[in-house]
Structure 1
């Protein structure tokens, strides 16, 4: 499912931001060593954190129906995981990087969720929205300077993209047979009263 989100983000950025330009879209850790080898313009989406989105967790079971509308099984509801990407632009001039970041921000602000038409594989099969947020303040337990420090790189202008992905991998609990239309005849026997 993570690779499917990567694919959607790559195709969205290529189609709506880069528009066929000669800028690569990569998912590498922007370490100091990596940055030293960059020799062509690129957009980097580094996946730096994966956490469950506890605000979206549901309890109970969801019904599965057959073609007649009869419940045939039950499953737990999807659990959502927040994939946090650090988006950076890499060019020879800071002004070009700023323009590229501006275009990326404008593109991603147009969407509350990944565009359904771009979803493939299990993301498309689920049929649920895949929410995203861009450039929100970092949570109190983490700062972007910490991410850059952990990578051994120098602080660089970046966008923080968080995609909440539904994961439906759960056991399937078969339902019992449907209740029929037969009636139940209850008779009280003699001598039950005084």
Structure 2
């Protein structure tokens, strides 16, 4: 796979490569092509090297005997960021790094699959960092991001869409979904908007007035 660096400013989102389940090379290539900054987390560098990907930053706590210096020559120039704080995950520390650099948006891959606790925590970070960073998590089956109070986007018919509340969400109203919602409430663990579909080719509108609502664009 070719390296990134087609874009060299911060107008496009950065890319974080975590250490969960891999995605298809096509998706990875699409995200790399437009990423001005690529961060790889800890031991995932070994998997990245096998795909001939050039990264800019290697970040992590580097525990379990991991030696980041062995990758400097192969990936030069590369910034090594040792982040030993055990109160945060490596992904959270990467978000903090981007915020410190005033980079406003990031795509994240390899952050789902494998361990369920990691997957759930990684997804919840979308809400935790909402005031500082726009986060979109991608894998081969889903694109996950936080919805603003009013959202509108064109979709083809039968696109699978799930609305997942983090906590309680009130006033959810949708247009052009097979199972419409009209000023309704969703709550994690009790009621969600899972596995809805776009009714016809065209604009989908989703609004809510209170709470944190995630949109998952899904592919079976």
TM-score normalized by the length of structure 2: 0.20
Of the two structures, which has the highest relative contact order with CA contacts closer than 8 Å and spacing of 6 or more? Answer: 1
TM-score normalized by the length of structure 1: 0.22
Say which structure is richer in strand. 2
Larger Rg: 1
